[in-house]
């Protein structure tokens, strides 16, 4: 951990994050070129950058994060010309995806070239590459003149940082510089797609969704490791997905509605339909909430209140639409049920918030897992250790 001691971390603020000036980024670029570490904003989450071609810089990244060094890093580039030197070949699917979704929240796995050290790829013969669209990230990488290895800029085991303050909490004193580009846009990490095989395989869901990829390729595969708890002996293709990514200090339970429940909620005459209609009319919410959201909030609140009565400190993760339904003391809105974008954007900040609040138990609403919802539910499920309460 030689690198993690007594560094004076500099923090610079970018004035206009849409149009960063080179003068603002030259020092950061110089630090990267010289083998130092700089945290910077991207459109997904903040990254902790170092020279991807310098095994020493990668070692410093692992040390600063406290991360196992068999977990490979993503090399970030700023233009297509920077891809070729890093890879043995660019498979056709890689070309198609780069054309369509780069720059953007998409990482692709390629066979690595000899110049990429095993220290960056965790010993793998493949390399993960991403071209971010964030103007600060893009300009910084271009000015650095080297590909930038960058995992999320959190201490291993904490939620990924979506603001410079989050980065500061975890990295102050451990790295040379934090570039403050404000809050990120998307809020969950990039989609990872392996393009080395006959069919593209999603290794981590993100803002470039399965639906978008299916549309391009007919059908893509999904690494089984991201669909549920990992069975013994199953190795995820993205080594990072094997770690119990982030577990909040409080015990997190996700509340999900069973298919039968949803069916009944919409079946006039069913017992549940009548009960929920009555509850909604009584609370004066029938005009405002759909039965599913109402029932979800009711169920989460029931569980939380039941636990509160045992004397435990309890918090709920709710939404703007359902916030008023809760009677528990501690509640945080994760966004709008009607906007997956807003939920992704706030997800990690809310989880960090609960760590600071020091609650014993957290109950969370769950969300549709189509489109961006797939990435949201993947992160929430992992944070909950797949602890799901079906009602």
Binding site for ligand TXA (CB under 6 A): 42, 44-45, 47, 71-74, 107, 109, 121, 124, 126-128, 130, 150-152, 189-190, 192, 203-204, 237-241
Q: What is d(CA 72, CA 128) in angstroms, rounded to the nearest whole number?
A: 8
Residue 132 vs 291, nearer CB to ligand TXA: 132
DSSP per-residue letters across 217-258? HS--EE-GGGTSSPPTT---SSGGGGS-----SSEEEEEE--
Q: How far is the CB of 151 from Mg ion (least distance, A)?
A: 5
Residue 40 vs 326, nearer CB to ligand TXA: 40
Contact 386, 228 (CB under 8 A): yes
Q: How far is the CB of 71 from ligand TXA (least distance, A)?
A: 5
Residue 109 vs 254, nearer CB to ligand TXA: 109
Q: Which residue from 19, 355, 367 is spatially nearest to 161, judged by alpha carbons? A: 355
Q: How far is the CB of 65 from Mg ion (least distance, A)?
A: 8
- With CB cut-offs between 5 and 8 Å by kind, which of ligand TXA, Mg ion, none does residue 384 bind? none
Residue 154 vs 293, nearer CB to ligand TXA: 154
Phi and psi at residue 332, to the nearest 5°: -135, 130
Task: Using only the alpha carbons of the chain, give its radius of gyration.
Answer: 22
Beta strand 47-51 with 201-204: parallel, antiparallel or unpaired?
A: unpaired
Q: How far is the CB of 354 from ligand TXA (least distance, A)?
A: 21
Residue 71 vs 283, nearer CB to ligand TXA: 71
Residue 117 vs 206, nearer CB to Mg ion: 206
Q: The tokens of 347 are what?
A: 């997800």
Q: The tokens of 210 are what?
A: 């399965």
- With CB cut-offs between 5 and 8 Å by kind, which of Mg ion, ligand TXA, none does residue 72 bind? ligand TXA
Q: How far is the CB of 199 from ligand TXA (least distance, A)?
A: 16
Residue 74 vs 140, nearer CB to Mg ion: 74
- With CB cut-offs between 5 and 8 Å by kind, which of ligand TXA, Mg ion, none does residue 140 bind? none
Q: What is d(CA 296, CA 43) in angstroms, rounded to the nearest whole number?
A: 31
Query: Residue 193: which residues within 8 A CB-CB, separation 6 or more?
Result: 97, 106, 107, 108, 109, 200, 201, 202, 203, 208, 213, 220
Q: What is d(CA 325, CA 391) in angstroms, rounded to the nearest whole number?
A: 17
Residue 20 vs 47, nearer CB to ligand TXA: 47
The footprint of Mg ion on residues 152-191 (CB under 5 A) is: 152
Q: How far is the CB of 196 from ligand TXA (least distance, A)?
A: 9
Residue 158 vs 332, nearer CB to ligand TXA: 158
Helix axes of 210-217 and 92-101: crossing angle, nearest 10 degrees? 130
- With CB cut-offs between 5 and 8 Å by kind, which of Mg ion, ligand TXA, none does residue 50 bind? none
Q: How far is the CB of 352 from ligand TXA (least distance, A)?
A: 16
The footprint of Mg ion on residues 332-391 (CB under 5 A) is: none
- With CB cut-offs between 5 and 8 Å by kind, which of ligand TXA, Mg ion, none does residue 192 bind? ligand TXA
**Residue with smallest beta-carbon separation from ligand TXA:** 240
The footprint of Mg ion on residues 126-155 (CB under 5 A) is: 152
The count of C-alpha atoms lying within 13 angstroms of the C-alpha of 200, restricted to the half-sphere facing its C-beta, is: 32
Q: What is d(CA 40, CA 20) in angstroms, rounded to the nearest whole number?
A: 12
Q: How far is the CB of 19 from ligand TXA (least distance, A)?
A: 21
Contact 280, 291 (CB under 8 A): yes
Say which residue the tokens 């250790």 belong to: 385
Q: How far is the CB of 248 from ligand TXA (least distance, A)?
A: 18
Q: Which residue from 368, 363, 369 is spatially nearest to 388, judged by alpha carbons? A: 363
Question: Residue count at the site for Mg ion (CB under 5 A)?
Answer: 1
Helix axes of 271-282 and 291-308: crossing angle, nearest 10 degrees? 80
Interface residues with Mg ion (CB under 5 A)?
152
């Amino acid at each position: 951990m030689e690198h993690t001691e007594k560094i004076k971390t500099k923090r610079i603020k970018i004035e206009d994050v849409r149009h960063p000036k080179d003068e603002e980024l030259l020092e950061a670029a110089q630090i990267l070129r010289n083998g130092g570490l700089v945290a910077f904003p991207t459109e997904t989450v903040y990254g902790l950058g170092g020279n991807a071609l310098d095994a020493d810089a990668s070692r410093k990244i692992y040390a600063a994060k406290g991360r196992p060094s068999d977990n490979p890093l993503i090399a970030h580039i700023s233009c297509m010309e920077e891809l070729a030197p890093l890879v043995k070949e660019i498979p056709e699917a890689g070309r198609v995806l780069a054309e369509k979704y780069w720059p953007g929240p998409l990482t692709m796995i390629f066979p690595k070239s000899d110049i990429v050290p095993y220290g960056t790829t965790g010993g793998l013969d493949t390399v993960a590459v991403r071209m971010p669209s964030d103007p600060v990230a893009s300009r910084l990488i271009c000015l650095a003149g080297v590909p930038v290895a960058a995992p999320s800029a959190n201490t291993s085991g904490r939620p990924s940082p979506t603001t410079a303050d989050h980065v500061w909490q975890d990295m102050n004193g451990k790295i040379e510089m934090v570039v403050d580009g404000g809050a990120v846009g998307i809020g969950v990490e990039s989609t990872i797609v392996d393009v080395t095989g006959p069919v593209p395989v999603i290794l981590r869901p993100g803002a470039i969704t399965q639906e978008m990829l299916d549309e391009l390729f007919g059908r893509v595969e999904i690494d089984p490791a991201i669909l549920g708890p990992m069975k013994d002996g199953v190795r995820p293709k993205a080594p990072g997905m094997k770690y119990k990514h982030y577990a909040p200090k409080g015990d997190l339970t996700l509340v999900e509605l069973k298919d039968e429940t949803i069916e009944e909620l919409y079946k006039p005459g069913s017992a549940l339909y009548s009960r929920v209609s009555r509850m909604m009319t009584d609370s004066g919410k029938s005009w405002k909430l759909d039965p599913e959201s109402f029932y979800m909030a009711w169920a989460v609140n029931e569980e939380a209140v039941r636990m509160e009565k045992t004397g435990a400190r309890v918090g709920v993760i709710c939404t703007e639409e359902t916030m008023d339904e809760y009677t528990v003391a501690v509640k945080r809105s994760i966004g709008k049920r009607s906007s997956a974008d807003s939920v992704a954007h706030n997800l990690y900040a809310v989880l960090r918030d609960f760590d600071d609040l020091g609650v014993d138990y957290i109950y969370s609403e769950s969300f549709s897992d189509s489109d961006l919802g797939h990435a949201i539910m993947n992160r929430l499920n992992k944070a909950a250790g797949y602890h799901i309460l079906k009602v």
